[in-house]
């Protein structure tokens, strides 16, 4: 019962939970989001390019990622990355990849599919006349994209990209299935070591809630500020 709720377990493990766990979670989120947005934008451009083969490939990749559960994708990459590494370096045995790089590759590749869908909507939200105007000014495809379309697409989609990043932040807790020490992994390791599951899991829930709730509040405020008045 809650009468023997032991706060001291939480207090003692704070340095471990935040110093190791939260640092892992936040750096994974930030790096995967940055990589995911870049690759996602390229995927969206490929999908809208209309070049046979290229857009099929991009569409296939996005649809495949979106129909698989993240847990399965985490397992896939965990076992696949050593073989890809061996292929790239030409080594005959699978190479060892650390836990963090493996998780980073997984989340970047997986979330890229979701960011791609957002960016596709963003690119399509820019009126056709603007690309036509850019062509009329003699800009090529890359100049049009980087100077005209993408800056506006990013601005329009910023709230959605950030909301997806909050989802990504929550999803990183699933590295638990590889026994990595993210925030949730750290909480669960302390919980099992000290037999204090109730305290640790409730605390983890409160921390996640506080972060995600304030983050989505900020996103809503930002949304009002960046909205382009037409």
Partner 1 sequence: MNYNWNWSIFFDQSPEGTGTYADMLLSGLQWTIVTALCAWVIAFFLGSLVGVLRTLPSKTANAIGTTYVEIFRNVPLLVQMFLWYFVLPEVLPRQLGDAVKQMPDAPFYTAVVCLGFFTASRVAEQVRAGIQALPRGQRMAGTAMGFTTYQTYRYVLLPNAYRIILPPLTSEFLNNLKNTSVALTIGLLELTGRARSMQEFSFQVFEAFTAATILYVLINLVVVVAATFLERAVAIPGQR
- Judge contact between 159 and 222, C-beta under 8 A: yes
| 27 vs 163 by CB, closer to partner 1 | 163
| 93 vs 140 by CB, closer to partner 1 | 93
Closest approach, Cβ 229 to partner 1, in A, equals 22
Spatial distance between the Cα atoms of 73 and 99, rounded to a whole number of angstroms: 15
Radius of gyration of the chain (CA): 21
| 23 vs 202 by CB, closer to partner 1 | 202
Q: How many C-beta atoms lie closer than 10 Å to residue 59's C-beta?
A: 15
Closest approach, Cβ 2 to partner 1, in A, equals 6
Residues 6 or more apart whose CB falls under 8 angstroms from that of 208 comprise 170, 173, 183
Cα dihedral sign, 53-55-58-61: negative
Spatial distance between the Cα atoms of 145 and 153, rounded to a whole number of angstroms: 10
Closest approach, Cβ 177 to partner 1, in A, equals 6
Provide the b/e sequence for 37-56 (b: ≥16 CB within 10 Å): bebbbebbbbbeeeeeeebe
Closest approach, Cβ 194 to partner 1, in A, equals 14
Spatial distance between the Cα atoms of 98 and 82, rounded to a whole number of angstroms: 10
Closest approach, Cβ 21 to partner 1, in A, equals 13
| 30 vs 133 by CB, closer to partner 1 | 30
Residues that bind partner 1 (CB under 8 A): 1-2, 64, 67-72, 75-76, 79-80, 83, 86-87, 92-93, 170-171, 173-174, 176-177, 184, 188, 197-198, 201-202, 204-205, 208-209, 212-213, 216
| 146 vs 216 by CB, closer to partner 1 | 216
| 31 vs 198 by CB, closer to partner 1 | 198
Closest approach, Cβ 79 to partner 1, in A, equals 4
């Amino acid at each position: 019962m809650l009468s023997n709720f032991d706060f001291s377990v939480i207090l003692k493990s704070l340095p471990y939970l935040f110093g190791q766990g939260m640092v892992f979670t936040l750096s994974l989120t930030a790096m995967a989001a940055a990589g995911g947005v870049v690759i996602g934008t390229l995927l969206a451009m490929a999908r809208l390019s209309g070049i046979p083969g290229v857009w099929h490939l991009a569409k296939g990749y996005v649809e495949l990622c979106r129909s698989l559960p993240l847990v399965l994708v985490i397992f896939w990459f965990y076992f696949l990355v050593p073989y890809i590494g061996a292929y790239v370096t030409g080594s005959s045995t699978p190479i060892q990849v650390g836990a963090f790089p493996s998780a980073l590759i997984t989340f970047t590749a997986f979330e890229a599919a979701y960011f791609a869908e957002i960016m596709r909507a963003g690119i399509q939200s820019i009126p056709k006349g603007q690309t036509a105007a850019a062509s009329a000014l003699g800009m090529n495809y890359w100049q049009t994209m980087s100077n005209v379309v993408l800056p506006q697409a990013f601005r329009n989609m910023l709230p959605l990209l950030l909301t997806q990043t909050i989802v990504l932040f929550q999803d990183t807790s699933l590295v638990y299935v590889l026994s990595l020490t993210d925030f949730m992994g750290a909480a669960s390791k302390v919980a099992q070591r000290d037999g204090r599951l109730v305290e640790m899991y409730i605390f983890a829930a409160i921390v996640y809630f506080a972060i995600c709730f304030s983050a989505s509040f900020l996103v809503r405020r930002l949304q009002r500020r960046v909205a382009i008045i037409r």
